[in-house]
């Protein structure tokens, strides 16, 4: 039997068994909180710790969660049998017909899909659920072989075969879908904003710096993070993250490098522990005298919360965050345009990369 | 002798005339909408009064037809005692002609200006005569009149007069044209007035045919007539100088002592002498010789002397049960969850007896975030206008409703929430703020009684709400075990292709209580209560179940046979109820009953939901 089906069935069996043996049905899950992530020495990523919460049918919310779980897993079972997939949004709408098990917001169904990943130790893709967001963009000297929807293998050179918006990362980036054929690049630069990605493309920085440029599109989708991790592991390319200089952007870096709290159950699969943060750092704001905005109350709270976040417990981050709390300023990547459109590619990035020990 | 003849004897004339032609606004004819409502109201009030005085259950038919631009023909027919031929022109064609001006008696139309004012309004706005048909007995013919009022002389002008056959035992039908405006769907409308009238007159059947042909039937829900209010004489504390002078003029008494002790309540000959000596008036003087100065001194003396209170058995309340029935019937489409009522003992203000009754309707489909609705009544007549000027509204505003579960900004003002408040003030002389009789004046004693009565109702409402809150928690669990858990079992069984597992044991563990739920259903005069006891605990339990009843004399049947029936309660033994077992107890009462109060004894009350601990009788 299909491995995933087996896992799904074992959850149903657990509930069935509880009822048959006159136990109140319950499911145990790791607590998905900041206080329950631990550094995994083996994978060098942050994963859930030992705190577990029990969802028990003794209370109404617990009973609803179990009811929705059994409905969702039965739905996934049917999809597997019928070779179908659905988006997370479709899962939410499909539940309209589930009576009491219906989800009232997509948040609820998204969260349940994550719960099921944790319970089955399988990926969302294995559960035939795919995200809504389209993948991020890639430009650089790399040849990718993609298996198209018609089953053909197509080779794409991510400079020569794509337009200025680059190659678009599909939601499934596993080996059966994508293979990396060859590359002449020596590093990967992941960029937070579309504006900066387009600036580097226009300035031909991929060629000048011999880099693969990847647009993160804010908080990166799973497929983007998985794609970066595979490039890093399979082609041995270092990963450099270039974001805005504010607390929210540091979290984008953290999710690329260490794993996100929400998906800590699959951090070893998504996170790239060797990824490095290039900037914009609070020190850069001062050193390059960048145009800046005052930190808001929310920014300050976010920074303080990062001081308590185990993922940021190293000297670099503690110093930078403290500096930022002192100067109370934040800057965007595009603030570098203060010195002209070519400044970022002619001065800032070469200087920063050299500082980090990279060749152009 | 037909009853109408007896009534006619008392009908004396009072002469005032053109004054009213110039002051029609004070009678409630100040705009077209209100004029139409007032016209219907005056006629219906008269019909109800006449039927009740004659001991007849009222059947009233109101028909409104369009008769031109802003002109309507209104017809009101009752099954009352009818009016003797001789009196018909006077009753309708003469202002201030009636039996009630001198008497102190709780009645709807307290001053007898009502119906003739309608006739006058009709005449002033359309110029058309009114039509009256009346019949006073089974084998007598009916008399039909067409009438106008001679406004200079305040005398009826008979346009046409004839005998006719009317297929009715007795009754009166009047038809007239007026300028007016017909409105629907609001409180201040004919429909609103009739609906509220139906609430406080559950013994009446009212049929209302609207201009568009819609027929509304407000059915009878009570078959007994309210007790007839008794006429009483004025009390010395309540009499004013004008009334005293009028009484002095009209009395048959020859001497002052006799006058005072005969024409007033609570004045003995002994007290009369005391009054006269204090007022420095000769005891033997004739009442006709008392001038204004002496009259004033007598009024002063009244205030200084202690009199016993007037009799209070003269009032005719609606009664708690009938208010409840009326409210239930007229709010049934809102399916309210709770109705409570209260009746106060009669009280006195300025020597005038009065009493207050109240009711609160709560929940159901009543709007949750709007101001509560206030239904005001004086002597069983709905008050539709001048809400803000009325002592009833004032009393409601000055209560802190937050403690009873309604919203109220700062604990003052009209509260918000899903509730209707009904207040009825009955009195031999309701102190209205003006002649249009729409608002009751600020009398401290009345405000106090309204508050006290509403507090009683509100306390019952609060108790109901607390009970409900407690149950809501339990109902979550009930939803869990009755819906969610069976669904889980069904779905996992389907996924695995196995039979549905039994869930009773799990239910018992989740609930871990003895669940008591009940329902009350009214059917005419009978009320059936059902109480279900379900044991959702692992243990077998034996305990006593107690239910309150208003009185054992109302008990029709109880199943199973209770172990004990007390005056105000019944007791069953719940013997060895097993886990997952359910037992039903029911009883029927032949009285109104809204909510069960259930108690248990012999089991730890924390294991029980739906009943309190029995604390003894």
CA distance B610 to B617: 19
* CA-based nearest distance B598→chain A, Å: 27
Asked if the C-beta of A15 comes within 8 angstroms of chain B's C-beta atoms, the answer is yes
**Which of A12, A57, A99 shows the shortest C-beta gap to B485?**
A57
pLDDT of residue B146: 94
Give the mean pLDDT of A304-322.
Answer: 91
CA nearest neighbour of A201 among A341, A55, A18, A57: A341
Contact A100 B493 (CB under 8 A): no
Contact A24 B509 (CB under 8 A): yes
**DSSP conformation class of A171:** S
Distance set, CA A33 to CA A52, A107, A112, A161 (Å): 10, 17, 16, 43
Asked if the C-beta of A100 comes within 8 angstroms of chain B's C-beta atoms, the answer is yes
Among B474, B492, B496, B502, most A C-beta atoms within 10 A, so best to mutate, is B492
| Cβ-Cβ contacts under 8 Å, A60 against chain B | 476-477, 479-480, 484
Residues B326-357 have pLDDT tens digits of 898 888 888 888 899 999 999 989 888 999 99
| Residues written for chain A | 360
pLDDT at A87 over 80: yes
* CA-based nearest distance B488→chain A, Å: 5
Among B486, B491, B511, most A C-beta atoms within 10 A, so best to mutate, is B491
| Residues written for chain B | 617
pLDDT of residue A211: 95
pLDDT of residue A231: 95
**Which of B485, B492, B495 shows the shortest C-beta gap to A63?**
B485
**Which long-range contacts does B454-458 make (Cβ < 8 Å, 24+ apart)?**
B454/B342, B454/B358, B454/B360, B454/B395, B454/B396, B454/B399, B454/B421, B454/B423, B455/B399, B456/B342, B456/B358, B457/B340, B457/B341, B457/B342, B457/B358, B457/B359, B457/B360, B458/B340, B458/B360, B458/B399, B458/B401, B458/B404
What architecture is domain A3-130?
A: Orthogonal Bundle (1.10)
| Cβ-Cβ contacts under 8 Å, B485 against chain A | 57, 63
**Which of A22, A60, A66 shows the shortest C-beta gap to B476?**
A60
Contact A12 B502 (CB under 8 A): no
Asked if the C-beta of A61 comes within 8 angstroms of chain B's C-beta atoms, the answer is no
* CA-based nearest distance A50→chain B, Å: 27
Class of domain B502-613: mainly beta
Q: Which residues of B sit within 8 Å Cβ distance of A?
A: 476-477, 479-480, 483-485, 487-489, 491-496, 498, 501-503, 505-506, 509-510
Which DSSP string do the residues of B441-502 spell out, in sequence order?
---HHHHHHHHHHHHHHHHHHHHHHHHHHHHHHHHHHHHIIIIIHHHHHHHHHHHHT-PPPP
* CA-based nearest distance A234→chain B, Å: 40
Residue with tokens 């012999």: B602
Residue B193 CB partners (closer than 8 Å, separation 6+): B37, B40, B41, B44, B382, B384
* Whether the Cβ atoms of residue A236 and residue A211 lie closer than 8 Å to each other: no
- Whether the bond between B411 and the residue before it is cis, its omega within 30 degrees of 0, is no
| Cβ-Cβ contacts under 8 Å, B496 against chain A | 9, 12-13, 16
**Which of A13, A57, A59 shows the shortest C-beta gap to B496?**
A13
Helix locations, B23-155, DSSP H: 32-53, 88-93, 114-126
pLDDT of residue B520: 86
| Cα dihedral A111→A113→A117→A118 (10° resolution) | 30
Of the candidate CATH numbers 1.10.357.10, 3.20.20.70, 1.10.8.50, 1.20.1090.10, the domain formed by B236-304 belongs to 1.10.8.50
Contact B506 A99 (CB under 8 A): no
pLDDT of residue B5: 54
| Cβ-Cβ contacts under 8 Å, B491 against chain A | 67, 70-71, 74, 101
**Which of B477, B488, B501 shows the shortest C-beta gap to A70?**
B488
Q: Which of A48, A64, A71, A93 is catalytic?
A: A93
ipTM of the complex: 0.73
Residues A143-173 have pLDDT tens digits of 999 998 888 999 999 999 998 889 999 888 8
Contact B484 A73 (CB under 8 A): no
Going from N- to C-terminal start, the domains of chain A cover 3-130, 185-355
What is the average pLDDT value for chain B, to the nearest integer?
87
* CA-based nearest distance A311→chain B, Å: 39
Residues (pLDDT < 70) of chain B are 1-26, 96-103, 109-113, 617
What is the average pLDDT value for chain A, to the nearest integer?
91
Please name every residue paired with B343 in a beta bridge, in sequence order, or none if there are none: B357
CATH of domain B3-218: 3.30.565.10
Contact B502 A19 (CB under 8 A): yes
| Cβ-Cβ contacts under 8 Å, B505 against chain A | 22
| Cβ-Cβ contacts under 8 Å, B488 against chain A | 15, 19, 25, 57, 63, 66-67, 70
| Cβ-Cβ contacts under 8 Å, B506 against chain A | 18-19, 22-25, 57
CA distance A44 to B28: 89
Of the candidate CATH numbers 3.40.640.10, 3.40.1360.10, 1.10.3720.10, 3.40.50.720, the domain formed by A185-355 belongs to 3.40.1360.10
Asked if the C-beta of A70 comes within 8 angstroms of chain B's C-beta atoms, the answer is yes
Among B493, B495, B580, most A C-beta atoms within 10 A, so best to mutate, is B495
In the A/B pair of chains, how many CB contacts fall below 8 A? 74
Going from N- to C-terminal start, the domains of chain B cover 3-218, 236-304, 339-463, 502-613
pLDDT of residue B15: 41
Residue A262 CB partners (closer than 8 Å, separation 6+): A32, A114
| A93 assigned to active site | yes
Is 3.30.230.10 the CATH classification of the domain at B339-463?
Answer: yes
* Whether the Cβ atoms of residue B468 and residue B498 lie closer than 8 Å to each other: no
Contact B488 A15 (CB under 8 A): yes
> DSSP 3-state assignment of B236?
helix
* Whether the Cβ atoms of residue B523 and residue B558 lie closer than 8 Å to each other: no
| Cβ-Cβ contacts under 8 Å, B580 against chain A | none
**Which of B491, B506, B509 shows the shortest C-beta gap to A70?**
B491
Pairing of strands B612-613, B598-601: parallel
């Amino acid at each position: 039997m299909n491995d995933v089906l087996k896992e799904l069935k074992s959850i149903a069996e657990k509930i069935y068994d509880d009822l048959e043996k006159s136990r109140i049905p319950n499911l145990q899950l790791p607590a998905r909180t900041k206080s329950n992530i631990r550094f995994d020495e083996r994978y060098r990523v942050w994963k859930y710790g030992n705190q577990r919460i029990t969802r028990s049918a003794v209370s109404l919310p617990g009973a609803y969660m179990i009811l929705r779980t059994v409905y969702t897993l039965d739905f996934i079972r049917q999809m597997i049998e019928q070779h179908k997939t659905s988006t997370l949004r479709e899962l939410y709408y499909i539940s309209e017909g589930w009576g009491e098990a219906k989800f009232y917001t997509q948040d609820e169904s998204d969260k349940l899909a994550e719960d099921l990943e944790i319970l089955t130790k399988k990926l969302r893709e294995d559960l035939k659920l795919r995200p809504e967001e389209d993948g991020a963009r890639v430009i650089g000297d790399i040849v990718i072989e993609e298996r198209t929807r018609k089953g053909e293998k197509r080779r794409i050179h991510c400079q020569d075969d794509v337009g200025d918006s680059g190659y678009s990362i599909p939601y499934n980036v596993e080996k059966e879908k994508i293979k990396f054929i060859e590359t002449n690049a020596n590093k990967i630069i992941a960029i937070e904003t579309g504006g900066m990605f387009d600036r580097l493309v226009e300035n031909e920085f991929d060629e000048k710096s011999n880099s693969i440029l990847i647009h993160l599109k804010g908080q990166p989708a799973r497929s983007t993070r998985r794609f970066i991790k595979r490039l890093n592991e399979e082609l041995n390319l270092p990963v450099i993250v270039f974001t805005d200089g504010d607390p929210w952007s540091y979290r984008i870096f953290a999710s690329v490098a260490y794993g996100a709290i929400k998906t800590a159950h699959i951090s070893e699969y998504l996170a790239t522990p060797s990824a490095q943060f290039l900037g914009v750092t609070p020190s850069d704001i001062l050193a390059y005298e960048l145009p800046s905005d005052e930190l808001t109350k929310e920014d300050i709270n976010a920074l303080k919360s990062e001081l308590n976040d185990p993922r940021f417990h190293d000297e670099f981050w503690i110093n930078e965050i403290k500096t930022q709390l002192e100067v109370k300023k934040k800057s965007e990547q595009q603030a570098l345009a203060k010195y002209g459109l070519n400044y970022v590619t002619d001065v800032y990035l070469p200087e920063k990369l050299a500082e980090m020990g990279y060749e152009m | 002798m037909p009853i109408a003849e007896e009534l006619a004897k008392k009908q004396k004339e009072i002469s005032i005339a053109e004054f009213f032609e110039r002051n029609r606004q004070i009678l409630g004819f100040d705009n077209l909408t209100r004029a139409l409502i007032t016209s219907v109201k005056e006629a219906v009030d008269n019909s109800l009064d006449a039927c009740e005085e004659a001991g007849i259950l009222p059947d009233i038919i109101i028909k409104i037809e369009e008769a031109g631009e802003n002109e309507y023909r209104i017809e009101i027919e009752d099954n009352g005692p009818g009016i003797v031929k001789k009196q018909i022109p006077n009753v309708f064609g003469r202002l201030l002609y009636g039996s009630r001006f001198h008497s102190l008696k709780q009645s709807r139309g307290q001053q007898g200006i009502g119906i003739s004012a309608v006739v006058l309004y009709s005449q002033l706005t359309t110029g058309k005569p009114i039509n009256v048909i009346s019949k006073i007995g089974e084998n007598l013919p009916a008399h039909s009149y067409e009438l106008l009022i001679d406004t200079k002389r305040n005398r009826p002008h008979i346009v046409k007069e004839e005998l006719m056959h009317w297929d009715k035992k007795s009754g009166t039908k009047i038809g007239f044209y007026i300028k007016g405006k017909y409105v629907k769907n609001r409180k201040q409308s004919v429909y609103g007035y009739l609906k509220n009238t139906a609430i406080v007159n559950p013994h009446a059947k009212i049929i209302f045919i609207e201009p568009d042909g819609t027929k509304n039937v407000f059915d009878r829900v009570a078959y007994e007539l309210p007790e007839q209010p008794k006429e009483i004489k004025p009390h010395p504390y309540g009499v004013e100088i004008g009334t005293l002078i009028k009484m002095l003029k009209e009395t048959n008494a020859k001497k002052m002592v006799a006058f005072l002790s005969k024409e007033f309540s609570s004045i003995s000959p002994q007290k009369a002498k005391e009054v006269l000596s204090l007022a420095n008036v000769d005891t033997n003087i004739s009442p006709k010789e008392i001038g204004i100065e002496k009259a004033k001194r007598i009024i002063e003396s009244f205030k200084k002397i202690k009199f016993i209170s007037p009799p209070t058995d003269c009032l005719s309340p609606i009664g708690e049960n009938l208010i409840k029935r009326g409210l239930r019937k007229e709010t049934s489409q809102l399916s309210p969850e709770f109705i409570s009522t209260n009746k106060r003992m009669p009280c006195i203000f300025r020597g005038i007896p009065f009493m207050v009754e109240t009711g609160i309707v709560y929940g159901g489909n009543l709007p949750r975030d709007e101001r509560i609705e206030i239904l005001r009544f004086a002597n069983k007549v709905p008050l539709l206008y001048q809400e803000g000027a009325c002592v009833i509204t004032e009393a409601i505003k000055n209560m802190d409703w937050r403690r009873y579960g309604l919203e109220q900004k700062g604990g003052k003002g009209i509260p918000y929430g899903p509730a209707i408040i009904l207040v009825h003030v009955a009195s031999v002389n309701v102190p209205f703020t003006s002649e249009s009789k729409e608002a009751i004046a600020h009398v401290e004693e009345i405000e106090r009684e309204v508050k006290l009565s509403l507090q009683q109702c509100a306390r019952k409402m609060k108790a109901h709400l607390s009970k409900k809150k407690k149950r809501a928690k339990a109902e979550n669990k009930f939803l869990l075990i009755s819906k969610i858990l069976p669904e889980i079992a069904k779905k996992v069984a389907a996924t695995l292709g196995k039979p549905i597992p039994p869930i009773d044991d799990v239910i018992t563990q989740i609930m871990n209580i003895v669940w008591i739920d009940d329902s009350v259903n009214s059917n005419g005069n009978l009320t059936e209560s059902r109480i279900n006891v379900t044991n959702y605990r692992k243990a077998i339990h034996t305990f006593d179940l107690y239910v309150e009843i208003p009185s054992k004399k109302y008990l029709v049947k109880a199943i199973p046979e209770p172990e004990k029936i007390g005056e105000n309660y019944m007791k069953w033994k719940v013997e060895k109820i097993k886990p997952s077992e359910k037992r039903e107890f029911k009883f029927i009462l032949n009285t109104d009953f809204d909510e069960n109060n259930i108690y248990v004894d012999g089991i730890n009350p924390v294991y029980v939901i739906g009943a309190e601990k029995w604390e003894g009788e």
